[in-house]
Amino acid sequence: MGEVEDIFQRKGGVLLHPTSLPGPYGIGDLGPTAWSWIDWLQDAGCQVWQVLPLGPTGYGDSPYQSFSSFAGNPLLISPERLLMEGLLTDADLEPIPEFQDDRIDFGMVIEYKDRLLNLALDRFLSGATPDLEREFQAYCHEQAHWLDDFALFMAIKGEHEGISWIDWEPTLALREPHAIAKARERLRGKIEAHRFRQFLFSQQWQIVRQRAAETDLMIIGDIPIFVAHDSADVWAHPKFFFLDDAGLPTVVAGVPPDYFSPTGQRWGNPLYRWDVMQEDGYTWWLSRLASVLSMVDLVRLDHFRGFQAYWEIPAEDEGAETGSWRIGPGEDFLETAHNALGDLPIIAEDLGLITPEVIALRKAFKLPGMKVLQFAFDDDATHGYLPHNYERHCVAYTGTHDNDTSRGWYASAPEETKEFCQRYLGCEEENIPWGMIQAIWSSVAEMAIVPMQDLLELGSEARMNFPSRAEGNWAWRVKAEELSPQLARRMREMGVLYGRLIETTEIE
């Protein structure tokens, strides 16, 4: 498999979304603190940085409910980088609101960043350097296949005070050519503003990506299998989704009742018309995969089991119990993607109800699955998520962004689970997070990844996401002082000890 085989070597890394980085502007961004973070990972002997989806977030600030599968999140644009580009002045940054350093207030951040990005656009339009102007025009031309629709979508959404496209005038919601042409003319300035923000995001992300490459740091991205209904993806490509004549979903995504959720989960995303996508050669999906892989080295493909079979819920049903299984595109889709893009640098998120057919599909394309240690202690020694049962070609985690922190998980676990966990790890209660890190680092798994919260031994107050809660998620941030040299040394020693970092010099 060539290059993909080179990726899947014995490595360790950290899961931390860029929004969680430290910095003075209320949210982590792609400026100097991102460079400092990459340098800290290098000091810690980590060769992997895993992020969540990087798209612009909508309701609930979730990176899994984005306005676009192709766009970047403008909130990640660094004011300090804009200063370096001459697009902002020091005076423009003032007044800086009194942001918290450990939590994101998305409302405050959006208001502040919007003002700065509008100032940057004004300065660009009034006196951009020829080089920057050429780069912007080249970017718009190269990305026109998604950027034109996205910028128009966001401009119309702004004109309608942010409401969902389904509630726009029918002529705009259903993209009647005359109405769309008039909107393009009427909103020309707003469209250009959204194009410019995407250009800035792309520029700054590529700088971060280059820095990561210079330090041999691999970045793992994330592709949610489903997209938000209120997105440019669905609005611009309705034929690929099960929608009625008004644009509303007729069936939606979710999962049936299982061990983790006795009533199942109704996610509400529109489902794909895979037959139409197949007839079209899966062009939208191939473009989506290529776009994300142009930004990262490896991709976690969320809800992989949905490619083999997915749970279809009638849109009028409020719960998930009454759905039914439908066969997904499976081998045909993955084979098409392989033929178009080469060997697939994909991690299959194969958590939840996994059947032999899902396992066979993953193995047919030599994709590593995921092992989450928090799930391993509610059974016995045969549980597949216990490290002594791992296969080599997998990615091991203490937990993920959807789980509690390991300390929080342990605190709320049943007594028999706590007892088994302590016996298995051979450590006392106060050492559980690092005992779990040691367990996956010492396992045969090719990659071991730990959420930053577990390195810091934090409790439930630092949890990133509660899947059953619509608001109040995604806000946790690491403080600058928590990225200490002492913590980096501790990680580096573990990497050397368990062969996830090979170095010839002695650790001080």
Neighbours of 216 (CB within 10 A): 9
Q: What are phi and psi of 47, to 5 degrees?
A: -110, 5
The H-assigned helical ranges of 44-105 are 79-84, 90-93
Neighbours of 496 (CB within 10 A): 16
Q: What average pLDDT does the segment 145-158 reach?
A: 98
Q: Taking 70 as the threshold, does the pLDDT of residue 330 lie above it?
A: yes
Write out pLDDT tens, residues 310-319.
999 999 999 9
Domains of the chain: 3-368+446-497 (3.20.20.80)
Q: What are phi and psi of 279, to 5 degrees?
A: -60, -30
How much is the pLDDT for 352?
82
DSSP annotation of 358 reads: H
Q: Under the phi-then-psi rule, with left for phi > 0, alpha for psi from -120 to 50, and beta for the rest, what region is 62?
A: beta
* Segment among 57-71, 119-133, 253-267 with least mean pLDDT: 253-267
What is the model's pTM?
Answer: 0.96
Tokens 């409790």 belong to residue = 459
- The alpha carbon of residue 136 and the mean position of all alpha carbons in its chain are separated, in whole angstroms, by 26
- Joined together, the tokens standing for residue 386 give 């216990």
* Contact between residue 270 and residue 302 where contact means Cβ atoms under 8 Å apart: no
Q: What is the DSSP string of 210-260?
A: HHHHHTT-EEEEEE-SS--SSSHHHHH-GGGB-B-TTS-BSEEEEE---SS
Tally the C-alpha atoms within 13 A of residue 396's C-alpha that lie toward its C-beta. 29
Q: Taking 50 as the threshold, does the pLDDT of residue 302 lie above it?
A: yes
Write out pLDDT tens, residues 85-94.
999 999 999 9
| Active site residues per annotation | 302, 349, 402
- Helix 32-43 to helix 485-497 angle (10° resolution) is 40
- C-alpha–C-alpha distance, residues 262 and 341, integer Å: 39
Q: What angle do CA 67, 68, 70 make, to 5 degrees?
A: 155
Q: Which residues contact 95 (CB under 8 A, 6 or more apart)?
A: none
Q: Taking 90 as the threshold, does the pLDDT of residue 257 lie above it?
A: no
How much is the pLDDT for 4?
63
Q: Taking 60 as the threshold, does the pLDDT of residue 12 lie above it?
A: yes
Q: What are phi and psi of 301, to 5 degrees?
A: -90, 105
How much is the pLDDT for 260?
65
Q: Taking 50 as the threshold, does the pLDDT of residue 1 lie above it?
A: no
Q: Taking 70 as the threshold, does the pLDDT of residue 259 lie above it?
A: no
SS3 label, residue 266: strand
Q: 502 pLDDT band (50/70/90 cuts)?
A: confident
- Joined together, the tokens standing for residue 179 give 């109405």
Burial (0-12, 13-18, 19+ Cβ within 10 Å), 44: buried
3-state SS of 319-351 is: CCCCCEEEECCHHHHHHHHHHHHCCCCEEECCC
How much is the pLDDT for 128?
74
